[in-house]
A = this chain, B = another copy of it.
Amino acid sequence: MDYQPRPDEVAALVLEVAGLRGALAGIDAVTAADDALVRQVLEEAGRFVAARIAPLSRSGDEVGARFEDGRVTMPPGFRDAYRAFWQGGWPALSARPEDGGQGLPTVLECVLYEWLTAANHGWTMAPGLLHGAYECLRHHASDEVKARYLQKVATGEWLATMCLTEPHAGSDLGLVRTRAVPQADGSYRISGTKIFISNGEHDLTDNIVHLVLARLPDAPPGPKGLSLFVTAKFLPDGARSAVHCERIEEKMGLHASPTCVMRFDEACAWMVGAPGRGLGAMFVMMNSARLHVALQGIGLLDAAWQKADAYARERRQMRAPGPRAAGAPPGAAAADPIIAHPAVRRLLDTQRAWVDGARVLAYRTGLELDLARHHGAPERRAAAERWCAFITPVLKAACTEQAFVGASDCLQVFGGHGYVREWGIEQIVRDARVAMIYEGTNEIQAIDLLVRKTLPDGGAGLAAFFADLGAAGADAARFGTLVRLAAAIGRAAPGQAELPYRIAGDFLRATALALLGWAWSRIGATAGFGGARWDAPRRALADWILPEFAMRTAIIETQLAQAGAPPNPP
């Protein structure tokens, strides 16, 4: 069963719960999107994803990207599908009109990429970095470089990569060794080896643009010595650049996406941004890139749920407990569809609670990204920036973890049939695993939330973010608990340097659960979200998901008590 987007449900979440309606009015940089336009864009996106992208997922996994003599051949149909994607204007959905884009709200691009990933994670890796590269060039490149690359990347006519990781430098980019030597004409020569470069080489587009982190000859060691450069497979004069794919990795999943080892042999390149400011130039797009990974998690989990839900309605095994449904055949052998079994229903409803709640949070973050960039009032921009700063690591980690764990749960619905290729569910589990690693491992996200963003101001920023949510009741109590814990961790940390690092994962997870509860309160408070479709996941949230909040906070409290720094009473 291929993935089927649900534009009706998603449009309602975007407009009414996440609050797109009216939120961007008066912001000239973003095309005003009324209800009708939102629905139309999402319906067209849904049709495109279902018709062109979803059918290529299984063959993409089975055939995979092939490497031979430095060239990568993408799986059958990928090139045509990408051409249709580019020519349909989809890559440019939320790029600026002056760069060849449509200027639509970021949240619509968010939905598009969620669905693309749900339909075909491997294919979606190719355009997945486009928007980030576009933003990076737009903000940091010289006019000359922009003239060469900006529109090509904005429209997706050329695809782009991010060349950061090296064999010895993964989470710690300060260890990057690739060198960039300045030339008399203002260009640079780049030499070094980069690994884990998604779509570093392929046959989807006529050219491939590479953003490369490297070190000038006189640069200091560590992250402050890194600068950013741009090169491409073919240089402006049409010559082949000295950047080559040496091999592609054999991976657990995502076989349709070539993960390349790229060798730069004095490749001609140009600097993007200032010397020594390479990390900063890349981090400008960090929030939106991490949000995209969170959306991948949401999409993959929804795809896994769709498969398991459909299977559970067809497959019959054993009688379910309780009174028989009217019209059910009698006798011991009259097995029920397995969705009638309580453990299966619990499992499916739990995934729906995650998908729908996380959608509200992610879509709202898409809106806040636009507000942070373009709102007229500085205090509103600050609030939006705060939203994005705090929620992005939480969503990245929680959504990707749930995608993997939840897809594995969905696999379990199939029994032995889930472990074989036939139903496609095991592919989702394999594909989803990587999202817990890339764009900063989930452990890095937890440190980002607690150590980098929450503790430095004693938790004041986090408290302000929570206050912005206007929570009440149990939601407000959970946020209050987190603020008190953050303050206590902050008091304990100076004497216990390891403490925040040990419990950062619990803190992130508890924050994710509190936010999920808040999102479902929003859904519950919105007209039109009643009935079993929404009541069952809301109950699953309360019964099966939110109890973990108390466990996480208890773990943190025990560590604080051991450190002699218990939180203040509420």
B501 touches A430 (CB 8 A): no
How many Å lie between the Cα of A240 and that of B72 in the bound state? 48
A4 touches B (CB below 8 Å) = no
Task: List chain B residues, Cβ under 8 A from A446.
Answer: 343
> What 1/0 mask marks residues of chain A from 165 to 199 whose CB sits below 8 Å from any chain B CB?
10011111011000000000000000000011000
B170 touches A222 (CB 8 A): no
CB of A273, distance to nearest CB on chain B (Å):
21
A418 touches B430 (CB 8 A): no
CB of A301, distance to nearest CB on chain B (Å):
16
A550 touches B (CB below 8 Å) = yes
A139 touches B (CB below 8 Å) = no
How many Å lie between the Cα of A318 and that of B168 in the bound state? 11
How many Å lie between the Cα of A405 and that of B401 in the bound state? 11
Task: List chain B residues, Cβ under 8 A from A468.
Answer: none
How many Å lie between the Cα of A259 and that of B418 in the bound state? 13
Which of A95-103, A150-158, A433-441 is the interface stretch?
A433-441
CB of A426, distance to nearest CB on chain B (Å):
4
CB of A473, distance to nearest CB on chain B (Å):
17
B558 touches A551 (CB 8 A): no
A331 touches B (CB below 8 Å) = yes
Q: Which of A417-441 contact B (CB under 8 A)?
A: 417-422, 426, 429-430, 433-434, 436-438, 441
Q: A322-B497, A497-B321 are in contact. Are A333 and B175 (CB under 8 A)?
A: yes
Q: A171-B318, A172-B318, A333-B222 are in contact. Are A343 and B502 (CB under 8 A)?
A: yes
A284 touches B (CB below 8 Å) = no
B421 touches A250 (CB 8 A): yes
Which residue of the partner chain, among B249, B346, B551, contacts A547 with CB atoms under 8 Å?
A: B551
A124 touches B (CB below 8 Å) = no
Q: A333-B174, A433-B411 are in contact. Are A547 and B555 (CB under 8 A)?
A: yes
A415 touches B (CB below 8 Å) = yes
Task: List chain B residues, Cβ under 8 A from A168.
Answer: 316
CB of A567, distance to nearest CB on chain B (Å):
16
CB of A162, distance to nearest CB on chain B (Å):
13
Which residue of the partner chain, among B165, B223, B415, B502, contacts A437 with CB atoms under 8 Å?
A: B415
B441 touches A419 (CB 8 A): no
Task: List chain B residues, Cβ under 8 A from A195.
Answer: 416
Q: Which of A252-294 contact B (CB under 8 A)?
A: 252-253, 259
Q: A172-B335, A411-B433, A415-B171 are in contact. Are A342 and B498 (CB under 8 A)?
A: yes
CB of A252, distance to nearest CB on chain B (Å):
4
Which residue of the partner chain, among B196, B344, B442, contacts A416 with CB atoms under 8 Å?
A: B196
A251 touches B (CB below 8 Å) = yes
B551 touches A548 (CB 8 A): yes
Which residue of the partner chain, among B221, B437, B447, contacts A333 with CB atoms under 8 Å?
A: B221
A161 touches B (CB below 8 Å) = no
A205 touches B (CB below 8 Å) = no
> What 1/0 mask marks residues of chain A from 467 to 499 whose CB sits below 8 Å from any chain B CB?
000000000000000000000000000000110
Task: List chain B residues, Cβ under 8 A from A253.
Answer: 419
A222 touches B421 (CB 8 A): no
B346 touches A502 (CB 8 A): yes
A554 touches B543 (CB 8 A): no
B554 touches A420 (CB 8 A): no
Q: Which residue of B lies closest to A414 (CB)?
A: B437
A321 touches B501 (CB 8 A): yes
How many Å lie between the Cα of A344 and that of B196 in the bound state? 22
A437 touches B420 (CB 8 A): no
Q: A332-B221, A408-B404, A501-B321 are in contact. Are A416 and B433 (CB under 8 A)?
A: no
How many Å lie between the Cα of A551 and that of B506 in the bound state? 14
B174 touches A443 (CB 8 A): no
Q: A174-B332, A332-B174, A544-B555 are in contact. Are A498 and B321 (CB under 8 A)?
A: yes
How many Å lie between the Cα of A322 and that of B429 in the bound state? 37
Which residue of the partner chain, among B323, B343, B421, B436, contacts A251 with CB atoms under 8 Å?
A: B421
Q: Which of A108-131 contact B (CB under 8 A)?
A: none
B554 touches A252 (CB 8 A): no
CB of A278, distance to nearest CB on chain B (Å):
16
> What 1/0 mask marks residues of chain A from 483 to 523 whose CB sits below 8 Å from any chain B CB?
00000000000000110111011000000000000000000
Interface of A toward B, CB cutoff 8 Å: 165, 168-172, 174-175, 195-196, 221-223, 249-253, 259, 316-318, 321-323, 331-333, 335, 341-344, 346, 404-405, 408, 411-412, 415-422, 426, 429-430, 433-434, 436-438, 441-443, 446-447, 497-498, 500-502, 504-505, 543-544, 547-548, 550-551, 554-555, 558-559
Q: Which 5 A-B pairs have the closest CB atoms?
A: A252-B426, A172-B317, A322-B497, A551-B551, A250-B421
**Interchain Cβ contacts under 8 Å between A and B, 25 examples:** A168-B316, A170-B416, A172-B316, A172-B317, A172-B318, A174-B332, A175-B317, A222-B331, A222-B333, A223-B332, A249-B420, A250-B420, A250-B422, A252-B420, A252-B421, A252-B429, A252-B430, A322-B497, A322-B498, A323-B497, A343-B501, A343-B505, A418-B437, A426-B433, A547-B555
Given contacts A259-B420, A419-B437, 8 further A-B contacts (CB under 8 A): A221-B333, A252-B421, A321-B497, A321-B498, A341-B501, A404-B408, A411-B433, A551-B551
